Structure 1
């Protein structure tokens, strides 16, 4: 897909493309839901022998990958093509072993996006951290991913 086509994708089409994407499919990462207003994504990963680490629990790189595109995508889709939106930094803290199915809910509320747009107006560079927990089947966090978003209005 060329970059111009990304703006034409609706949440259903993007979900289908991501679920067919070899990077996600090979790691058993499934996009369960993308909100119609681009404010939320639910993504899960069933831990098995093909995405487990040496100890048989969720491979950290796979937990990182399951959240990787979504903070940027949700912000970019709400802001539109007149804003540059990038990951500027990312980190993950592993809290306990992930087994079974792990899930992340990535939220990007409209009021947060509005604040980013206001701050970035006129080409000002905005850096903001977002935190996304990765939850085990019991609802307790197994990891917490932090992503620093770069936003700037294009000139």
Structure 2
């Protein structure tokens, strides 16, 4: 998994995966401030801050739900709270109970969007930036025809 550090979007922004839990339910990343990831006023570039949060919840769910489920990043919202200087850190974790609850819910309803809060922190532990990540999860054998028929029926009613 740590080969992702050499994937161009990570390498090019200076994002470094520093920890992966054995169950693939926790990832920790860091990003040093370098000449190639700072903006015009000398702080972390916003796109790099977002990139710190991009794939991790999708990875956690894909690894833990298994092959019967499709997991995709769907949307994000970013809030800058203070200037990002120096090395920044972010931890992404889902408890096994959360993963089991998501699996049960998807088994029952077929598909759903989940929103996860990512908090990017500086070395003092202060939150520099928050990113809401929306991740789409569905069963691979989801019955789109039945879903569309139900929605059509609900619109007519």
TM-score, normalised with respect to structure 2: 0.86
Partner of 2:20: 34
Partner of 1:86: 72
Partner of 1:68: 54
Partners of 1:104 and 1:135 within 8 A in 2: yes
Q: Are residue 50 (structure 1) and residue 42 (structure 2) matched?
A: no
Partner of 2:154: none
Partners of 2:8 and 2:83 lie apart in 1 by: 25
**Total equivalences in the alignment:** 141
Partners of 1:41 and 1:50 lie apart in 2 by: 24
Partners of 1:87 and 1:76 lie apart in 2 by: 11
Structure 1: runs of 5 or more not aligned: 1-13
Partners of 1:117 and 1:153 within 8 A in 2: no
Partners of 1:135 and 1:93 lie apart in 2 by: 13
Structure 2: runs of 5 or more not aligned: 142-157
TM-score, normalised with respect to structure 1: 0.87
Partners of 2:112 and 2:118 lie apart in 1 by: 19
Partners of 2:109 and 2:125 lie apart in 1 by: 40
Q: Are residue 109 (structure 1) and residue 105 (structure 2) matched?
A: no
**Bigger mean CA offset, 37-46 vs 115-124:** 115-124
User: What value does the CA root-mean-square deviation take over the aligned residues?
Assistant: 1.1
Partners of 1:134 and 1:68 lie apart in 2 by: 12
Tell which structure's C-alpha radius of gyration is larger.
2
SS in 2 for 1:132: strand
Partners of 1:121 and 1:153 within 8 A in 2: yes
- Measure how far apart 1:39 and its partner are: 1.1
Partners of 1:38 and 1:108 within 8 A in 2: no
Query: Which ranges of 4 or more aligned residues in structure 1 deviate by more than 4 Å?
Result: none
Partners of 1:18 and 1:63 lie apart in 2 by: 17
